[in-house]
Amino acid sequence: MHDILDLNRYPLDRPGSPEWQALVDRCRAELAQDGMFSLDGLMQPEVAQGAADALQGKFATESFHHKREHNIYFKDSVEGLAPDHPALQKVETSNFTLCADQFQGSPVLRLYDWPPFAEFLAATMDKQNLYTMDDPLARLNIMSYGAEQALNWHFDRSEFTTTMLLQAPDEGGEFIYSPELRSDDDPNYPGVERLLAGEDPNMRAITLSPGTLNIFRGKNSPHRVGTVKGDKHRVIAVFTFYERPGVRFTDEENIGFYGRAS
């Protein structure tokens, strides 16, 4: 994996070694404090950019155009909230998505299927084990956001989101979030309303660079991607792991997410 990853800086290939443990400890401390950590340049930036370049044609011809209106909960209704409550206002998400069966041989897929990657992530997230999915579509997705496109405000369904930026846009495309705006016990609807009005005092933004791995605790921290400006697309890989092996989505779920079954 030395040909695609910076394993001198990030010793993912030496699980259990003191330098591996030191990196895990650092990541865990950052997750506890900020709800995220990044490994800047884990994939060599030119390899990441090359992976994005290789997919340009496929994005143009065979990607799924994901475009929909949704609220921050991705739910039609929320118990205890009137349908016109400001916390339920609609936002629009638009991007182009490719699934794992459309980029076989990509370095991103090599990383996903490399067992020390899941082992490292599990250790940082304090999980016994993490497993790659068996689903040929959902296991790994690469999303492309062109001019005026964005992933809008949402809470994640899973505890963590694991991404790697492959190509940065010239402008926009920041990752914008509000750490722990709600908790498992307190939905904080007034806070959600303030956030959607653009008035959340705790809102933060980070700009990722190509090859950077980002782990984000997104279940209670709402986030969005800033609208991309200009011709250069924002291209990002989203890795999906589960705590049990063999997970697949139903055909119905895949048709909803990707417009087709596997």
Ligand X SMILES: O=C(O)CCC(=O)C(=O)O
Residue selected from 37, 155, 160, 175 as contacting ligand X according to rule CB under 6 A: 175
Residue selected from 225, 228, 235, 237 as contacting ligand X according to rule CB under 6 A: 225
Closest CB to Fe ion among residues 156, 180 = 156
Closest CB to ligand X among residues 93, 106 = 93
98 binds, among ligand X, Fe ion, none (CB under 5 to 8 A by kind): none
* Chain contacts with Fe ion (rule: CB under 5 A): 156, 161, 218
238 binds, among ligand X, Fe ion, none (CB under 5 to 8 A by kind): ligand X
* Residues 132-151 interacting with ligand X (rule: CB under 6 A): 151
What residues contact residue 154 under an 8 Å CB cut-off, 6+ apart? 70, 72, 73, 74, 93, 222, 223, 224
Closest CB to ligand X among residues 194, 217 = 217
- Is residue 16 exposed (0-12), middle (13-18) or buried (19+ Cβ within 10 Å)? exposed
217 makes contact with ligand X (CB under 6 A): no
247 binds, among ligand X, Fe ion, none (CB under 5 to 8 A by kind): none
161 makes contact with ligand X (CB under 6 A): yes
Sequence-distant contacts of 123-126: CB under 8 A, at least 24 apart: 123/15, 123/24, 123/28, 124/24, 124/27, 124/28, 124/31, 124/37, 124/215, 125/31, 125/159, 125/160, 125/215, 126/28
Find the shortest distance in angstroms from Cβ 218 to ligand X. 6
With H, G, I as helix, E, B as strand and everything else as coil, classify residue 261: coil
Find the shortest distance in angstroms from Cβ 69 to ligand X. 17
Closest CB to Fe ion among residues 103, 160 = 160
156 makes contact with ligand X (CB under 6 A): yes
What residues contact residue 131 under an 8 Å CB cut-off, 6+ apart? 118, 241, 242, 243, 244, 245, 246, 247
236 makes contact with ligand X (CB under 6 A): yes
Size of the chain in residues: 262
